[in-house]
Chain A
Amino acid sequence: MKLTCLSQGGGYHFPPCYMLELCGFRLLLECPLDLSALTVFAPISATDNDANASGLIKAQPWYKTVAALHLWDPSLIGAILVSTPAGMLGLPFLARNPKFSGKIYATEATARIGRLMMEELVAMHAEFVQFYGPDERPGLPEWMKWEELEKLPPALREVVMGEDGEELGSWMPLYSASDIKECMQKVQSVKYAEEVCYNGTIILKAFSSGLEIGSCNWTVNGPRRNITYLSSSIFESSHAMDFDYHSLQGNDLILFSDLSSLNSMAKKGNDFNGNNNHSEPMHKDAPLCDVSAIRTDYDNEDEILRCLGGIDENLEEIDKISFVCSCILDSLQMGGSALIPVGRLGVVLLLLEQLSRLLESSHLKVPIFMISTAAEEMLAFTNAVPEWLCKQRQQKLFSGEALFGHVELMDEKKLLLFPILNSSNLFGTKTLHRMMWQEPCIVFSPHWSLRLGPVVHLLRRWHADPRCVLVVEEGADAEVALLPFKMVAMKVLQCSFLSGIRMQKVRPLLEMLQPKLVLFPEDLRLQCPLKDDSSCSILYYLKNVMLHVPGLRSDFEVCLATDLAFQLKPRKLTERNMAIARLKGQLLLNNGKYLLVASKELLDLSNKQLLHWGSADPVRLLMALQERGIIGSIHWDKNGTDGVFSIQITKPEEAMIETSGTKTVIYCRDKTMAALIYEAFSSVCGGI
């Protein structure tokens, strides 16, 4: 087994990406896009001036894929495992490649949400196509030319090219709606804990990771390895089904790919301070680890389980949501509007519920708009997936209530959905919009990069209004993101939501899961010291360095079919306390399990021995020959060498047996008699 980390990703929207080589197959783990790189492009502007000032690229955006993935031949990728909707945004690039013929696995909910996100991306991108005209020139776009790249500010140039320029090749023009459709047809969607078998050899199962509706960790079970591919997980969630870590117990190997704490650490120290005085960075409780606080031993499993409880974390997340809501309320009360380009579905759903409650209790009549091509389907979808939600939401099903608060909000017309908002129909050229549009208001709309989608137009409208508030996720560099919208007078609220396992829980989790081997990111080695002992060893992986993982079992497990077992003719080797039998059959591989069955061919069922060892005792051999009516005499080696002798046979016919320590030659003209001699020999010599 070999593992190559192709990318360590960058937070919730850009998960890490790996190539796993197992049982002769290549499995790609995730196929994401780095949408944060969109910040190098100028958003479409009505005035044309603001973008110029920022030094951003004025062109139809391209999209940044995982650079190292392009080094692998798509035809050799056997399967792709997707854990989250973000992990599939780059799939159409690969799926449309005629050389790619692999399988794609994702949970039903991930596939659905992922498809909506991709379609939304294409719909938002269409606005650029409309603005710049279709990209017809073959080859590289203007901005990718060396002279142009050199003109870019260093920070932007690094986003485009990477540190050593190696990422320049990772940019792609966006896929089309039909690429998405074609790609989705190749996705095999699964339920949680559904067994799917890849090529008869590898059994794949997805288990809830708690991060998002439908997001999962995978178990990958080959004939000789049980692997847990552990992605960013959240122990307790207010919307998605909790992290199901019990089902991951007992696998030999864990590929630890939750790099969420790495990402929040990297951002530490460059906290967004904004270009205005109103920004309120919310970074007080980032999941930073304090090494000294990490326990090194746990007395019992109960204690481990207590450590893993997610109640506190979840309460903290709920507190964050409440805080965001109260900030929004402040703005609304001042007459400002709130703009929420948050890309996390769960956060959006919870904000909707909390906000409506808060509006209700403060008797504010402010409309909530959701402007997105995907909104209608996404909201309908979330109310029809009890199987993918947390226990409390499932309970709503059993008591006959809607799963999420947005159902009631839509019925009461407090939440209004608009599919599109762009410069041409901005705020009221269409009658319908004019009738419904009203400020102050709360708007949920993509995209969190602040380069695409309705958010751009709304930012232009509100950026200079200090009463308004913008809610952005931590992770995107807000200062760069807001570059094209100078001067920003509106409040900017940057929040970090939990997006993985906290450092201090990694160890108790691993102790609970009891793997024999953990593949752990080198970059987290210092922050999260793990105990490398006889029961569990740790291998550290680095980006773009192939890690060879030694085998754990030397033997294969095989099932012996009853029909074949009955054909066996075991023979006792008394002195060795064992029985042996010659076995002939056909090997089947069924659901990752080997099965030996009787061959359809007619088998030679005679007891003929084919392999001999040791040596024959001359006296016993002579007697065995006599039993078969063959008479002869022993002649010892002239030099008296041990075990070297010959037997001269006189009756019924002349023949000779010549034996040395490791070899016997039977001289005999008659084949029948030769067979008899052979039989006699076999009966006195060790053989099978």
Chain B
Amino acid sequence: MAIECLVLGAGQEVGKSCVVVSIGGKRIMFDCGMHMGYLDHRRYPDFSLISETGDFNSALTCIIITHFHLDHVGALPYFTEVRGYQGPIFMTYPTKAMAPLMLEDYRKVMVERRGEEEQFSHDHIVDCMKKVTTLDLKQTVQVDKDLQIRAYYAGHVLGAAMIYAKVGDTAMVYTGDYNMTPDRHLGAAQIDRLQLDLLITESTYATTIRDSKYAREREFLKAVHKCISGGGKVLIPTFALGRAQELCILLDDYWERMNLKIPIYFSAGLTIQANKYYKMLIGWTSQKIKDTYAIRNTFDFKHVCPFDRSLINASGPCVLFATPGMISGGFSLEVFKQWAPSEKNLVTLPGYCVAGTIGHKLMSGKPTRIDIDKDTHIDVRCQIHQLSFSPHTDAKGIMDLVEFLSPKHVILVHGEKPKMATLKGRIQSELGIQCNDPANNETVLIPTTQNVKINATKMFMRSCSHADFHSVKNSLPCLSDSSFGDSEASNLVRNEKVVEGILVMEKTKTAKIVCEDEFLQTLHVEEHKVQFEYSCPAEKCREQVSCQSNSGPPPSDGNFSETC
């Protein structure tokens, strides 16, 4: 049996994550994302490669979405409602709660603001989400008789999961996006030591080793504080979910410590609404937030209040969170137009902006004038601060995860081509694990091995009594940030004794291991003993070649005699 892995998106690029994996007759689609950088057919994965006839229901066993980012879930309503996939869809509780918010936000921006033809409607999103089955972390879900899936905590954004899938003895993990270091509101990725044939991992920062997060946070706070001290206004364009909450916790906490009274605003009702979700999904946040929420819910921000449009031109300093994140239109653009001309003000930009957005223009060089269209232009005199923290793991984190899981094979997705090639080389040379970095629409075949199922008789099992079992301590180095599963709690015990028996194979029956005595009994024959006498027949020095020496009498310890 082999694993067949078809990369429909995020192959040697970032965007429209979508990988279709076939294991033992099951076919799973991991993520169904859209590419934010394209407006033509390239924004969606090429679904026709899954099924020429378009009969996706028989071509796919299920879809699993790792998190609510649009490059992982953006194509889902299109695939289910327009292309007609009706089969099972799995995602975690937070993802099911937040994905429709992200999708609806995107749809509005595209249709209402850009006047573009609608790819999917509001009803499509609602109908699509109705088909979703929710996953809890670590829950083993039996999708059908043969396919088992399980979600592990991935950090990154609220509800992000790494997915384990198993058919028969063949098992794999698809990581989605993950973060190996905890941030303000989320914990670090956590996974058990699994036996894997394949690991498909993101590689956004395939070659980056990041320095301390705190330094970068301090830098951001310093920039914000400096601006408001000078009476300026801070515009933080951001997506409603994820980064907004992290920065909010950071600022709220800083305001508290510094005793600042300057207002922090949230633009759309959306983000306030989002905080409501975060409050119910406390179980998915960091340990610190979980431990304290009964006394004070971190998402009850003390210094944050809703923003009214009339405040745009009000005097005095303030901080404003506004959507969308890359100033691609909408409210953040409206505010940007008003605030950009003043050198007192500050605009923060996310780490990554798609080409074509104002965010992207601001990042490339220091433009003093931005043309919105041929009639409108903005003079940019404000300060620009680029946020440098990103909820993705760095190269060390990827290497640590690969080493921890030690799969037989690794496939890299969701990264930049040259950097992925470097990482691939490291995985192969440093860890000795086969690695691929396929481009979009390429298929990788991975061979797998399979264990044979046999029966063993009670007597054979008794010959290796329980007392001889010893827990196998993990020999791999334990990771410093303890983001992985409890490495002490090994589920593997080994019997050091070498056991011996006879394997009986009959055509219609499961092969069976028996002891020699049992074997003779099943054959209805008696043992024929052979003795050697290294002498003439008259001499009496005998050496017996025993046929029983290795099976021995059953141990007095009766653990196995008990029928369990």
Partners in one complex: yes
Q: Which residues of A contact B (CB under 8 A)?
A: 1, 21-24, 108, 190-195, 197, 199-201, 205, 222-225, 247, 376-377, 380-381, 383-387, 394, 397-398, 400, 402-403, 550-551, 554-562, 565, 568, 570, 576-591, 594-596, 599, 601, 610-616, 654, 656, 658, 661-669, 671, 674, 678, 681, 685-688
One digit per residue, 1 when the CB lies within 8 angstroms of any chain A CB and 0 when it does not, for chain B 191-206 equals 0000000000000000
Q: Which residues of B contact A (CB under 8 A)?
A: 93, 96-97, 100, 129, 134, 136-142, 169, 273, 276-277, 279-283, 293-295, 297, 449-458, 461, 464, 466, 469, 471, 490-507, 511-513, 516, 519-520, 523, 525-537, 545, 547, 550, 559, 562-564
Partner of B564 from the list A23, A197, A685 (CB cut-off 8 Å) is: A23
Query: Could you tell me the distance in whole angstroms from the C-beta of A252 to the nearest C-beta in chain B?
Result: 12
Query: Could you tell me the distance in whole angstroms from the C-beta of A156 to the nearest C-beta in chain B?
Result: 39
Asked whether A686 and B140 contact (CB < 8 A) given A377-B294, A568-B503, the answer is no
A23 to B560, CA, bound (A): 8
Q: Is the CB of A384 within 8 A of B466?
A: no
Residues of A within 8 A of B535 (CB): 667, 669
Partner of A588 from the list B129, B277, B494, B500 (CB cut-off 8 Å) is: B494
Residues of B within 8 A of A23 (CB): 466, 562, 564
Partner of A385 from the list B283, B454, B457, B562 (CB cut-off 8 Å) is: B283
Q: Is the CB of A583 within 8 A of B139?
A: no
Q: Is the CB of B458 within 8 A of A554?
A: yes
A582 to B513, CA, bound (A): 9
Asked whether A613 and B525 contact (CB < 8 A) given A380-B293, A384-B283, A678-B530, the answer is yes
Query: Could you tell me the distance in whole angstroms from the C-beta of A318 to the nearest C-beta in chain B?
Result: 23
Query: Could you tell me the distance in whole angstroms from the C-beta of A669 to the nearest C-beta in chain B?
Result: 6
Q: Is the CB of B528 within 8 A of A559?
A: no
Residues of A within 8 A of B293 (CB): 380, 384
Partner of B528 from the list A190, A377, A664 (CB cut-off 8 Å) is: A664
Residues of A within 8 A of B520 (CB): 611, 613
Closest 5 CB pairs of A and B: A551-B563, A200-B493, A23-B564, A197-B491, A555-B455
Q: Is the CB of A559 within 8 A of B494?
A: no
26 contacts between A and B (CB under 8 A): A1-B562, A23-B562, A24-B559, A108-B283, A191-B136, A195-B140, A205-B140, A383-B279, A384-B282, A386-B280, A397-B281, A554-B458, A559-B169, A562-B450, A565-B452, A568-B503, A570-B505, A578-B506, A582-B500, A585-B498, A588-B495, A613-B520, A664-B530, A665-B532, A681-B530, A688-B519
Residues of B within 8 A of A377 (CB): 294
Residues of B within 8 A of A688 (CB): 502, 519
Residues of B within 8 A of A654 (CB): 536
Q: Is the CB of B506 within 8 A of A586?
A: no
Q: Is the CB of A397 within 8 A of B277?
A: yes
Closest to A556 in B: B456
Q: Is the CB of A384 within 8 A of B281?
A: yes
A557 to B454, CA, bound (A): 6
Residues of B within 8 A of A590 (CB): 491-493
Residues of B within 8 A of A656 (CB): 537
Q: Is the CB of A662 within 8 A of B503?
A: no
Query: Could you tell me the distance in whole angstroms from the C-beta of A580 to the nearest C-beta in chain B?
Result: 6
A594 to B493, CA, bound (A): 10
Q: Is chain B's interface secondary structure helix, strand, loop, or mixed overall?
A: mixed
Closest to B542 in A: A665
Q: Is the CB of B453 within 8 A of A557?
A: yes
Asked whether A562 and B564 contact (CB < 8 A) given A200-B491, A402-B280, A582-B502, the answer is no
Query: Could you tell me the distance in whole angstroms from the C-beta of A394 to the nearest C-beta in chain B?
Result: 7
A435 to B293, CA, bound (A): 27
Q: Is the CB of B498 within 8 A of A599?
A: yes
Closest to A224 in B: B564
Query: Could you tell me the distance in whole angstroms from the C-beta of B530 to the nearest C-beta in chain A?
Result: 5
A1 to B466, CA, bound (A): 16
Query: Could you tell me the distance in whole angstroms from the C-beta of B534 to the nearest C-beta in chain A?
Result: 6
Q: Is the CB of A662 within 8 A of B492?
A: no
Asked whether A550 and B563 contact (CB < 8 A) given A403-B280, A666-B532, the answer is yes
Partner of A583 from the list B496, B507, B513, B525 (CB cut-off 8 Å) is: B513
Query: Could you tell me the distance in whole angstroms from the C-beta of B155 to the nearest C-beta in chain A?
Result: 18
Partner of A577 from the list B501, B507, B559 (CB cut-off 8 Å) is: B507
Residues of B within 8 A of A576 (CB): 523
A381 to B451, CA, bound (A): 45
Partner of B547 from the list A400, A612, A616 (CB cut-off 8 Å) is: A612
Q: Which of A199, A550, A577, A667 is the most central at the interface, judged by chain B CB atoms within 10 Å of its CB?
A: A667
Q: Is the CB of B506 within 8 A of A591?
A: no
Partner of B464 from the list A384, A587, A664 (CB cut-off 8 Å) is: A587
Q: Is the CB of B455 within 8 A of A193?
A: no
Query: Could you tell me the distance in whole angstroms from the C-beta of A212 to the nearest C-beta in chain B?
Result: 17
Residues of A within 8 A of B281 (CB): 384, 386, 397
Q: Is the CB of A556 within 8 A of B452?
A: no
A222 to B461, CA, bound (A): 14
Residues of A within 8 A of B471 (CB): 200
Closest to A552 in B: B563
Known interface pairs A223-B564, A380-B294, A611-B519; 6 further A-B residue pairs with C-beta atoms within 8 A, sorted by A's residue number = A200-B491, A387-B93, A394-B93, A397-B281, A583-B503, A588-B494
Closest to B512 in A: A555
Residues of A within 8 A of B100 (CB): 398
Q: Is the CB of B530 within 8 A of A586?
A: no
Partner of A200 from the list B451, B492, B529 (CB cut-off 8 Å) is: B492
A274 to B530, CA, bound (A): 89
Partner of B297 from the list A225, A380, A599, A658 (CB cut-off 8 Å) is: A380
A656 to B142, CA, bound (A): 66
A558 to B453, CA, bound (A): 6
Asked whether A200 and B490 contact (CB < 8 A) given A556-B461, A576-B523, A663-B529, the answer is yes
Residues of B within 8 A of A611 (CB): 502, 516, 519-520, 527, 547
Closest to A203 in B: B491
Q: Which of A23, A108, A681 is the most central at the interface, judged by chain B CB atoms within 10 Å of its CB?
A: A23
A484 to B369, CA, bound (A): 84
Q: Is the CB of A555 within 8 A of B457?
A: yes
Closest to A598 in B: B498
Query: Could you tell me the distance in whole angstroms from the C-beta of A476 to the nearest C-beta in chain B?
Result: 29
Residues of A within 8 A of B559 (CB): 24
Q: Is the CB of B280 within 8 A of A24?
A: no
Residues of B within 8 A of A614 (CB): 525, 528
Q: Is the CB of A557 within 8 A of B455?
A: yes
Residues of A within 8 A of B527 (CB): 611-613, 662
Q: Is the CB of B498 within 8 A of A558?
A: no
Q: Is the CB of A662 within 8 A of B529?
A: yes
Residues of A within 8 A of B449 (CB): 562
Query: Could you tell me the distance in whole angstroms from the C-beta of A220 to the nearest C-beta in chain B?
Result: 11
Q: Is the CB of B453 within 8 A of A559?
A: yes
Query: Could you tell me the distance in whole angstroms from the C-beta of A460 to the nearest C-beta in chain B?
Result: 31
A579 to B507, CA, bound (A): 9
Q: Is the CB of B531 within 8 A of A612?
A: no
A201 to B520, CA, bound (A): 31
Asked whether A580 and B492 contact (CB < 8 A) given A611-B527, A664-B528, the answer is no
Residues of A within 8 A of B502 (CB): 580-583, 611, 688
Residues of A within 8 A of B505 (CB): 570, 578-581
Q: Is the CB of A586 within 8 A of B495?
A: yes
Q: Is the CB of B533 within 8 A of A666?
A: yes
Closest to A666 in B: B532
Q: Is the CB of B451 within 8 A of A560?
A: yes
Query: Could you tell me the distance in whole angstroms from the C-beta of B542 to the nearest C-beta in chain A?
Result: 8
Residues of B within 8 A of A550 (CB): 563
Q: Is the CB of A685 within 8 A of B533?
A: no
Residues of B within 8 A of A669 (CB): 534-536
A612 to B528, CA, bound (A): 5
Residues of A within 8 A of B140 (CB): 193-195, 205
Query: Could you tell me the distance in whole angstroms from the C-beta of A415 to the nearest C-beta in chain B?
Result: 16
Q: Is the CB of B528 within 8 A of A555?
A: no
Query: Could you tell me the distance in whole angstroms from the C-beta of B16 to the nearest C-beta in chain A?
Result: 25
Partner of A22 from the list B513, B531, B564 (CB cut-off 8 Å) is: B564
Residues of A within 8 A of B493 (CB): 199-201, 588-590
Closest to B499 in A: A587
